Amino acid sequence: MKRKRMQLLSIPYVFWIIGFTVIPLLFVFAKAATSPEGDATFGNLIAIFDPVHRKALFLSIELAFVSSLVCILISYPAALIIKSSKIRNKKTLQFIMILPMWMNFILRILAIQMLISKNGIINHFLTAAGIGRINIINTEFAIVLGMVYDYLPYMLLPVLNGVLAIPDDIIEASKDLGADRFTVLTKIMLPLSLSAIGSGITMVFVPSMTEFVIANILGGGKIQLLGNVIEQEFSVSMNWNLGSGLSVTLMVFVLLTTLIFGRGDSDKGRGFVI
């Protein structure tokens, strides 16, 4: 049967997902549900209410939220400009915009570190100009800067595709019916690209929330995201049970955001192209 043969094609993926996702996940769940001594416990899950962990979780959510917002505020106007530009080959512009993705993301973060560190390039110029140093590195701002720099293309791509997919005659029709620019934007463009923005948020919010490398490099270890706490439980404290418990908690929050913002994806799959 044809259908059967098509199903055979999924074998490599099925092996992959069982071997590298499902089984490891089961390990994580098992660790999360037990104490280091091997007794069943909810302690590792409840540990999120510990003030330190709670603070790290809220900070993770906050920075992921701010990063997503900044990415939208940069991407949407850029998409509008590209749509209205007379440049014929819009795919080239899109290519240029995602060009940073070609560079290793840790390299990009190290580059930012060079720019904003205490004796970095920016402070060097500011000192030379007689303004004096400013403190950027090791702040929450620095981490948001790094996240936006790293994840902006993931917002830009779906938003740009979503905005470009809005037919010109629909925009002209709304103007024809009396809509000014603001009305065209709020009543036509935004509603029609909402699912694309949703895709973008999922693509930026989720990795930002689970981020720990950027926080390590640009936060100088002073700012603890939940990702940093988990990493330390695994690599420093060697408490894999607590690390797993916190991971499961983080997973729940990731799932929640995907549910909230990813709903639009079923709508013709518009925008989600990565």
Q: Given the rule CB under 8 A, which residues bind another protein? A: 167, 169-170, 172-180, 183, 187-188, 191-192
Whichever of 61 and 184 has its CB closer to another protein, that residue is 184
Whichever of 53 and 270 has its CB closer to another protein, that residue is 270
As measured in angstroms, the least distance from the Cβ of 76 to another protein is 17
- Strands (DSSP E) contained in the chain are none
Long-range contacts of 24-28 (CB under 8 A, 24+ apart): 27/244, 28/244, 28/247, 28/248
37 burial level (CB within 10 Å; 0-12, 13-18, 19+): exposed
As measured in angstroms, the least distance from the Cβ of 193 to another protein is 10
**In 165-236, which ranges are continuous DSSP H helix?**
168-176, 181-183, 190-209, 213-219, 226-235
Whichever of 89 and 235 has its CB closer to another protein, that residue is 89
Whichever of 4 and 88 has its CB closer to another protein, that residue is 88
Contact (Cβ atoms closer than 8 angstroms) between residue 137 and residue 145: no
Whichever of 22 and 170 has its CB closer to another protein, that residue is 170
The C-alpha torsion from 49 through 30 and 234 to 211, rounded to 10°, is -60
As measured in angstroms, the least distance from the Cβ of 263 to another protein is 14
The C-alpha torsion from 117 through 118 and 120 to 126, rounded to 10°, is 130
Contact (Cβ atoms closer than 8 angstroms) between residue 160 and residue 94: yes
Whichever of 14 and 170 has its CB closer to another protein, that residue is 170
As measured in angstroms, the least distance from the Cβ of 180 to another protein is 6
Whichever of 118 and 175 has its CB closer to another protein, that residue is 175
Contact (Cβ atoms closer than 8 angstroms) between residue 195 and residue 243: no
Handedness of CA 101, 104, 110, 115 (dihedral sign): negative
